[in-house]
Structure 1
Amino acid sequence: MVLRVVLCYKPIIPPLLKMTKLFFKAAVLFIAVYPAISFAQSYQFTASGAKGVANNQAFEIQFYSPNIVRVIKTPVGHAFVTENLSVIKKPVATALKTAKNGDQINLSSSQIKITLNLKSGAIAYLDKNGMPLLREKADGASFKPFDDAGNKTLTVSQSFILDKDEAIYGLGQHQRGNLSQRNQTYKNMMQGNTEDVVPFFQSVKGYGIFWDNYSPTTFSDKPEETLLSSDVGEGIDYYFMYGSNADGVIAQMRDLTGQAPMFPLWTYGFWQSKERYKTQDETVGVLKKYRELGVPIDGIVQDWQYWGNNYLWNSMEFLNVDFSNPQKMMSDIHKMNGHLMISIWSSFGPQTKPYRDMKPKNMLLDFNTWPESGSELWPPKMDYPSGVRPYDVYNPEAREIYWDYLNKGLFKFGIDGWWMDSTEPDHLSFKPTDLDLKTHLGSFRKVRNAYPLMGVGGVYDHQRKVTSDKRVFILTRSAFAGQQRYGANTWSGDITSSWETLQKQIPTGLNFSLSAIPYWNADIGGFFLSKYPRKLEDPEYRELYARWMEFGTFTPLMRSHGADAPREIYQFGKKGDKVYDAAEKYINLRYRLLPYIYSTSWDVTAHQSSMMRALFMDFSADKNVWDIPGEYMFGKSLLVNPVTSSMYTKVAGRDKAEDFGAVKSQETYLPAGRVWYDFWSGQKVAGGKKVSRETPLDIIPLYVKGGSIMPIGPKVQYSSEKNWDNMEIRVYPGADADFTLYEDENDNYNYEKGQYSEIVFHWDDKKGTLTIADRKGAFKGMLTNRTFNLTVAPAGIVTDAGKLKSVSYSGKKVSIKL
């Protein structure tokens, strides 16, 4: 047999709103002299890796960096063309060592080693020391012909072999309550209200896999294999990355798909919302009420229907008569040092201007979305169809039109943030043929899961073009790989109010964060109150709300929201009432923690960190924490164990009643290798065991890692009310510690130009000395002189002033013995 193999590789890079589009085309030509064709193995090393044919499949291995490798496989003779929507990194020159040993080729960078078996085509990955990380299953690549709305393409699959006891995490947001994704199967994953598809997982062994495909995808982990399979693909296309630990893997994924920009300081304060405030006076009045009560708040949210009826759905204009003076509304909110986030959608009603502009240009997707009825009666009258349709976010001109109306209709009033609802989008009355619909980038099926990435990205990119004085802040219901680069926080969707749902939010948020997207939250109190027909009059729900508020304090966004009943703090009583007092306590705690939270957000931006951290991220040597779904680190110092079951509601006769007579307890596992401090009592506890802690309604188990430095800010009514000029610095001994206090102008992009400051604190545990280093950097309005009040392992949030040791700081290094 004579066989000739030619592989062509040609990148084409046109612009797409600052988003790099990479087109890869691999063509394999062959000549065979025998009727029964069988392809011999063939390969060649390239400057970036290798390419060739193995097991009748064309392959290409390309190093994007010493830590990241791209793998492409196709049937021999099949052209491979794809558009990279998530990946924005361009390959960098990487020094490689190559060799051939029998039927195996080897490629090594400074960080990882790769072997490919030329008979089976299977690839194995090892660390630089030769320790196995992951391997493909022999004959694990699969290609099946698929007709995608007239386009002859493939259904593609790849199987891997994992270690028996290996834990893996990620895959986006799925609400099952599990942390490790071993022994899980998610079939035909598509974006949904409470499900966010991110085809990326990472291992406790320190590697990650990003399956770069946007069509409906199945993940299945069984003892014999771990499978990724997608409905549509011109070939198998995935990235292997090695970071040695979870933070390192996330750093590689963000290097590949984009870094997370800074949010404004005020976004980390408390947010009040509900479905929905029906007049501008009501919206402003809620903020005013909080100010009168002296309860801190930074954000108020305006939900839907400020535009009027359903035929005007998402006009992105104030057309409702009850919002007749939006400029006054914004002025009133800003005068109270508040900020407004407003609801916008991915769809338009037939009487809106954007709909009329997009319809003739075929920029609308013809399937049913929310709301289906033009009538606002409930239940909806389906004989009056709304005609609301999602728009084609894949079309750059459509994204331009979207922003143009958003800018002229809303942004001009000074609105501070965008609540991008239904970014999946809602797909009602689903028919499989809906996936055949044509978009700007091919069938809807082909690009289905990238919808939120494109829609959110369009708003971010356009606002950045308009101004750098206001940081983009987007709250969105759905996400895809790479969305962290667009200034977006994802919330967990329209979840029900129940203890079970609350419990599931913790591993849901952790796996989302482990998918390299750092900002996530859940509606405090849950969205639907269907389980509680008495609503806020139900004692069990009031207890649930208090516990949810406590959990929400330790998520990236602290936002109370829901349907069926209002959720403002004053709906739960007044000062002296248990639920009210618990909620107020945690809102105040959130504000005292702002210096810690804002500095952690800088760690996310500058060092690819995560705010919500599964315990294995910091304590992977302790196998006991590999699959603990109910505890996590908030930043790198605080261990949080939210209460997720009812303790103080009992059934009295036929009714439920609050019972605070007996104080209940909850157990917490403290990871080994550290000592820990009870945040509330200051009690020192050894790690590597479970400890029990009393949990009255206003207490959850909260522990500080020994070897931590924590800044505590002043008591305020909003985030920027007071300077951090008289800050408390808490040292928790037990190991050496470092903390970087980050400060900037709070709400612009000057930090990207280097206009910020860092103050590094170092604790020498053996010497008992705290050193405050020379300040690095400067920005307009920076404090040049300040006082730090130092204390060791205090109890509670309010410290005895007599225990504080004050030191004046003017930006020069100082050391203090504690």
Structure 2
Amino acid sequence: MLRKKFLAFSFVLFNLVASACPATSSFVITSDGVIVYPDADYALNTQAVQIQVIADNIIHVTASPDKSQTGFTSLSVIPLSYRPDWKTTSTKEKVTIKTKLLTVEVVLQTGTVSFFDNNGKKILAEKGIGGRRFRPVAFEGQRSWNITQVFETNEADALYGLGQHQDGLFNYNGQQVKLFQNNTEVAIPFLLSNKNYGILWDNYSITTIGDIRPYHQLSSFRLFSKNGDNGWLTATYYKDREGMIPQLTRAETSIDIPYLDDYKHVLPAGFVASKGSVTWEGSIASDFNGLHNIRMTYGGYIKIWIDGKQVLNKWRRSWNPAPAVFGIDMEAGKKYPIRIEWIPEATEVYLTFKWIEPLPITEKNDFAFSSEAGKQLNYYFVHGKDMDEVISGYRTITGKASLVPRWALGFWQSRERYKTQDEVINTVKEFRDRKIPLDNIVLDWNYWKENDWGSQDFDTARFPNPDSMIGILHNKYHTRFMISVWPKIYEGIDVYKQFDAKGWLYKRNIADRMRDWIGEGYTSTFYDAFNEDARNAFWDLIHKKLYVKGVDAWWMDASEPDIHSNVTPEKRKEQMIAPASPYISAEYLNAYPLQNAKGIYEGQRAAEPNKRVFILTRSGYAGSQRYGATIWSGDIGARWDDMKNQIAAGLNFSMSGLPYWSMDIGGFMVEDRYQREQMTEKDQEEWREMLTRWYQFGSFTPVFRAHGQFPYREIWNIAPSDHPAYKSILYYQQLRYRLLPYIYSIAGRTYHHDYTIMRGLPMDFTSDSMVLSIGDQYMFGPSLLISPVYSYQQNSRQLYLPNTNGWYDLYTGKHHTGGQQITAEAPYGKIPVFVKSGSILPFGPDLQYTDEKPADTVTLFVYTGKDASFTLYEDENINNNYEKGICSNIDINWNESAGTLTIGERKGQFKGMREKRIFRPVFISPGKPTGIDQPKPKTKDIRYNGNAVTIKPT
């Protein structure tokens, strides 16, 4: 209600100021900035540009095709009341706003905005004439606008964030990113630059960012057949992929099967895709010199050779097509032989091939945002002394990131799916019997009766006593229980009737009679999460049916919303038209996961105010972090390249301002060769090695969880206990728990100081240009450099040690100089992990679950060579008292020149806090290497009672 009043007051104030504006005036000063009325001959459709000072380092820019700027409701932005000191000056050409940290200039003639630091250095600028565009469009019989804003960057800018995408890209400079929520693709409209600025684009429609030029069809190349004929490629369709028996050969100029049922209009009559394969052969040419970007979507197996070199080798289950991006450096006029081999693997298939030529010189430094629909252009510019401060600005605008309960940082086990109550309990029992650490067991979909999706009732034939099951998990096995809850409701069940009577359902999927994949298929739809009453009703439903049974956390699946998979964006918009919605679906469709999480978060906080909410959701949006949401990377494939792509996906997601990210360790969808009950020995050993490498990587991500289709991901189902895979997976699960004092401290820092846990290297080494495009290494917190291994039978890997005082091998303590490429050992059981010189790494005891016992003895590994500091954070672990500052912090500092370690006075307290504990320091230096598992040098324990103490190494 407060937020609505704030927005209403802003609109009234704006309208009063606008109506008072004399016709001859080009700008007016308002209570929080200025409004510029540019010259219509130069500003195209822009009638007004408003600059609002939000903070010394945050500026809000809106532009509108009408002077009133009404009709826009922000869902991401929280009420903002802070108004810093600022002043304005003007000339005939421009008006200038100055804060303590920023200078903002607006050209009066065009409304173009530029941002400078307090030394007068330009940070970022909108492009001049033509850089901002409004194009009128209509949706649902209402006026809307296609909105574009072009910014001028430079070649040295590296650009990150924008959510989570599966194309393996890290630095988006010169690339194109599409924001459209989809399974494995998460749209977050926040851009983060290595030049320490960010842009929050406050729009919820389908948005293209970066190089926004449309991609061309294959036919836009000059094409040559296999025999050299001008104008097409030679396509050969094989009716039997095993025997390579040709069915037909024909000329083709496009490969374009992007959405559901498109194959019916493209593939030749009589071709059975689930049995056949296709090959395209010939040559391509272009009249442009330079890098041509190719963008594909694919299902099944796809291999591509260009000029004799393989440039692509991918696989994905056809029901969930994946993207691929790669570049070809082409010489104008030169013919490049091309061969494309495709095994569709299913009847409903997906495959596209599109390309874009090199950018013209005049557009080399352009970086744009272009949204399909909106009432006005709306963005926030954030500047900071470093990237953490920029992300802090993002959270100032959209809300702080909730602190996860401590148990959520332990290990979770999941599969698709546990089918009975006994399977759930017996799985947890096996963990405890084998002494494998575990904190959370997840019950995936279909625990209801087959025809009862959306009822939130357990099928009593398979789950006869869910209350008792959850009680056993809690009380006997000390394990939390998470359950999958979809926004999906089957037609005709009681919940459907209740929601339908109130106008709370999207009805188009019902009208289209679209059936899902269960049994013979059922018609269903989703509830309207934009409707407050519908959100409340959905929470009441899962509260009464599930939460009261003891459910600890929520798995919000298909939250894009995936009402029906692989439909066109146009169809998605049609599906999301609701009877009682106040919003045009085209303007707000990307915000569904935000509103879906909001209902659960606010409902649980109202029902049990002091219990932390935990939501795992398949999609999110700017602001999701304030609703206790962790986002996972969806139904990814189980291949080595899929694992590699998760590194860049997780980094860009984290650099979008949302700190909690996860992935299905082992990948969700699995190739047929791994799904056989009896794998070949070769395939089984590759599967075991891939799962080992994936667990190693996953142990150093914010949320550590395994999930996927058969084969099952429990450690004993991967390999026997004497196998190197089992031993390595167990080692990293145990290591994760020993690191909990470190991990929970940086989680606390994430809430209290807007920190980011999984960190792209540019966040900590911005001045090192070598790191700007490294997307397969990252920092896990302030100290640990993680370099996952993502290739089969790879026993070493090339990696870069950023330019700092040096790095220590975690396992041996060996010291390495920073600023160099090295070949690191990566034996089957270990991935390279290095500790930054000048780090303090706290280790706790071995645990079977996070609250098994307190860390009353904390080993402090002190990596010397530079001053070091770490703050050990603790609180009550599962409640919300941390929001009131009820917690403790112990500052620990190493002074390199003095050679002293100081454990500072404890600040703060909470119920159950350990008043006394032991700290056991271990000092590592280049001359005295020590690994975390090696015998420790003898040191004197520090008996700590909350008072400061300083020691020197003995």
Is 1:327 the counterpart of 2:311? The answer is no
Aligned match for 1:191, one of 177, 181, 189: 181
Aligned match for 1:640, one of 765, 786, 802: 786
Is 1:450 the counterpart of 2:591? The answer is yes
Q: Residue type of the partner of 1:46?
A: T
Is 1:179 the counterpart of 2:314? The answer is no
Does structure 2 conserve the Cα–Cα contact (< 8 Å) formed by 1:13 and 1:23? Answer: no
How far does residue 52 in structure 1 lie from its aligned partner after superposition? 2.5
Does structure 1 conserve the Cα–Cα contact (< 8 Å) formed by 2:155 and 2:365? Answer: no
How far does residue 46 in structure 1 lie from its aligned partner after superposition? 2.1
Per-residue Cα deviation, 1:645-671 (whole angstroms, up to 9, x for no partner): 1116xxxxxxxxxxxxxxx31122011
Paired position in structure 1 for 2:825: 694
Does structure 2 conserve the Cα–Cα contact (< 8 Å) formed by 1:529 and 1:535? Answer: no
Following the alignment from structure 1 to structure 2, what is the Cα–Cα distance between the partners of residues 463 and 686? Answer: 50
How far does residue 802 in structure 1 lie from its aligned partner after superposition? 4.5
Paired position in structure 2 for 1:655: none
How far does residue 165 in structure 1 lie from its aligned partner after superposition? 1.4
CA separation of 1:126 and 1:401: change in aligned 2, threshold 3 A:
same
Q: How is 1:803-818 mapped onto 2 (pairs within 5 angstroms)?
A: 803-818=938-953
Paired position in structure 2 for 1:116: 106
Query: In structure 1, the residue corresponding to 2:941 is in which secondary structure?
Result: strand
CA separation of 1:529 and 1:371: change in aligned 2, threshold 3 A:
farther
CA separation of 1:290 and 1:434: change in aligned 2, threshold 3 A:
closer
Following the alignment from structure 1 to structure 2, what is the Cα–Cα distance between the partners of residues 213 and 376? Answer: 35
Does structure 2 conserve the Cα–Cα contact (< 8 Å) formed by 1:393 and 1:455? Answer: yes
Paired position in structure 1 for 2:38: 54
Q: How is 1:614-763 mapped onto 2 (pairs within 5 angstroms)?
A: 614-647=760-793, 664-763=795-894
Aligned match for 2:87, one of 94, 97, 102: 97
Paired position in structure 2 for 1:393: 529
How far does residue 750 in structure 1 lie from its aligned partner after superposition? 1.9
Aligned match for 1:575, one of 718, 721, 736: 721
Query: In structure 2, the residue corresponding to 1:233 is in which secondary structure?
Result: coil
Paired position in structure 1 for 2:135: 144
Following the alignment from structure 2 to structure 1, what is the Cα–Cα distance between the partners of residues 113 and 851? Answer: 53
Following the alignment from structure 2 to structure 1, what is the Cα–Cα distance between the partners of residues 815 and 21? Answer: 75
How far does residue 324 in structure 1 lie from its aligned partner after superposition? 1.1
Paired position in structure 2 for 1:158: 149
Pick which of 24-33 and 146-155 moved more. Answer: 24-33
Q: Residue type of the partner of 1:376?
A: I
Q: How is 1:118-267 mapped onto 2 (pairs within 5 angstroms)?
A: 118-139=108-129, 140-187=131-178, 189-221=179-211, 223-267=364-408
How far does residue 585 in structure 1 lie from its aligned partner after superposition? 0.7
Paired position in structure 2 for 1:661: none
Does structure 2 conserve the Cα–Cα contact (< 8 Å) formed by 1:23 and 1:82? Answer: no
Aligned match for 2:573, one of 431, 435, 449: 435
Q: Residue type of the partner of 2:112?
A: A
Following the alignment from structure 2 to structure 1, what is the Cα–Cα distance between the partners of residues 881 and 843? Answer: 25
How far does residue 755 in structure 1 lie from its aligned partner after superposition? 2.2
Following the alignment from structure 2 to structure 1, what is the Cα–Cα distance between the partners of residues 59 and 440? Answer: 43
Does structure 1 conserve the Cα–Cα contact (< 8 Å) formed by 2:439 and 2:849? Answer: yes
| TM-score normalised by structure 1 residue count | 0.92
Following the alignment from structure 1 to structure 2, what is the Cα–Cα distance between the partners of residues 31 and 729? Answer: 65
How far does residue 371 in structure 1 lie from its aligned partner after superposition? 12
Q: How is 1:774-793 mapped onto 2 (pairs within 5 angstroms)?
A: 774-793=905-924
Does structure 2 conserve the Cα–Cα contact (< 8 Å) formed by 1:59 and 1:72? Answer: yes
Paired position in structure 2 for 1:45: 29
Does structure 2 conserve the Cα–Cα contact (< 8 Å) formed by 1:498 and 1:531? Answer: no
Following the alignment from structure 2 to structure 1, what is the Cα–Cα distance between the partners of residues 186 and 906? Answer: 41
Does structure 1 conserve the Cα–Cα contact (< 8 Å) formed by 2:674 and 2:687? Answer: no
CA separation of 1:22 and 1:710: change in aligned 2, threshold 3 A:
farther
Q: How is 1:508-657 mapped onto 2 (pairs within 5 angstroms)?
A: 508-530=649-671, 532-534=673-675, 537=679, 538=683, 539-647=685-793
Paired position in structure 1 for 2:518: 376
CA separation of 1:59 and 1:12: change in aligned 2, threshold 3 A:
farther
Does structure 2 conserve the Cα–Cα contact (< 8 Å) formed by 1:180 and 1:627? Answer: yes
- RMSD value over aligned CA atoms? 2.3
CA separation of 1:216 and 1:41: change in aligned 2, threshold 3 A:
farther
Does structure 1 conserve the Cα–Cα contact (< 8 Å) formed by 2:812 and 2:934? Answer: no
Q: Residue type of the partner of 1:711?
A: P
Is 1:294 the counterpart of 2:435? The answer is yes
Per-residue Cα deviation, 1:667-703 (whole angstroms, up to 9, x for no partner): 2201112211000110011100012221111111100
Q: Residue type of the partner of 1:686?
A: T
Count, aligned residues: 777
Paired position in structure 2 for 1:800: 935
Pick which of 632-641 and 40-49 moved more. Answer: 40-49
CA separation of 1:399 and 1:30: change in aligned 2, threshold 3 A:
closer
Is 1:414 the counterpart of 2:547? The answer is no
Query: In structure 2, the residue corresponding to 1:322 is in which secondary structure?
Result: coil
Paired position in structure 2 for 1:8: none
Following the alignment from structure 1 to structure 2, what is the Cα–Cα distance between the partners of residues 210 and 220? Answer: 14
Following the alignment from structure 2 to structure 1, what is the Cα–Cα distance between the partners of residues 18 and 117? Answer: 35
Q: Residue type of the partner of 2:169?
A: N
What percent of counterpart residues are identical? 40
Does structure 1 conserve the Cα–Cα contact (< 8 Å) formed by 2:114 and 2:124? Answer: yes
Does structure 1 conserve the Cα–Cα contact (< 8 Å) formed by 2:18 and 2:68? Answer: no
Query: In structure 2, the residue corresponding to 1:619 is in which secondary structure?
Result: coil
Does structure 2 conserve the Cα–Cα contact (< 8 Å) formed by 1:99 and 1:105? Answer: yes
Pick which of 69-78 and 688-697 moved more. Answer: 69-78
Following the alignment from structure 1 to structure 2, what is the Cα–Cα distance between the partners of residues 146 and 236? Answer: 14
Per-residue Cα deviation, 1:385-422 (whole angstroms, up to 9, x for no partner): x1211110000100110010111100001111101101
Query: In structure 2, the residue corresponding to 1:24 is in which secondary structure?
Result: helix
Paired position in structure 1 for 2:293: none
Does structure 1 conserve the Cα–Cα contact (< 8 Å) formed by 2:922 and 2:936? Answer: no
Paired position in structure 1 for 2:343: none
Does structure 1 conserve the Cα–Cα contact (< 8 Å) formed by 2:406 and 2:850? Answer: yes
Q: Residue type of the partner of 1:430?
A: V
Per-residue Cα deviation, 1:498-522 (whole angstroms, up to 9, x for no partner): 1111111011101001110000011
Aligned match for 1:772, one of 880, 898, 903: 903
Query: In structure 2, the residue corresponding to 1:771 is in which secondary structure?
Result: strand
Following the alignment from structure 1 to structure 2, what is the Cα–Cα distance between the partners of residues 797 and 32? Answer: 69
Extract unaligned runs of 5+ from structure 2: 41-46, 212-362
Query: In structure 2, the residue corresponding to 1:459 is in which secondary structure?
Result: helix
Does structure 1 conserve the Cα–Cα contact (< 8 Å) formed by 2:715 and 2:729? Answer: yes
Q: Residue type of the partner of 1:288?
A: K
How far does residue 792 in structure 1 lie from its aligned partner after superposition? 1.2
Following the alignment from structure 1 to structure 2, what is the Cα–Cα distance between the partners of residues 512 and 31? Answer: 44
How far does residue 350 in structure 1 lie from its aligned partner after superposition? 2.3
CA separation of 1:387 and 1:58: change in aligned 2, threshold 3 A:
same
CA separation of 1:154 and 1:412: change in aligned 2, threshold 3 A:
same
Paired position in structure 2 for 1:24: 11
Does structure 2 conserve the Cα–Cα contact (< 8 Å) formed by 1:344 and 1:418? Answer: yes
How far does residue 228 in structure 1 lie from its aligned partner after superposition? 0.7
Per-residue Cα deviation, 1:173-206 (whole angstroms, up to 9, x for no partner): 111111111111134x311111111111011111
Does structure 2 conserve the Cα–Cα contact (< 8 Å) formed by 1:771 and 1:814? Answer: yes
Following the alignment from structure 1 to structure 2, what is the Cα–Cα distance between the partners of residues 127 and 600? Answer: 30
How far does residue 243 in structure 1 lie from its aligned partner after superposition? 1.4
How far does residue 367 in structure 1 lie from its aligned partner after superposition? 4.0
Is 1:339 the counterpart of 2:510? The answer is no
Following the alignment from structure 1 to structure 2, what is the Cα–Cα distance between the partners of residues 433 and 446? Answer: 14
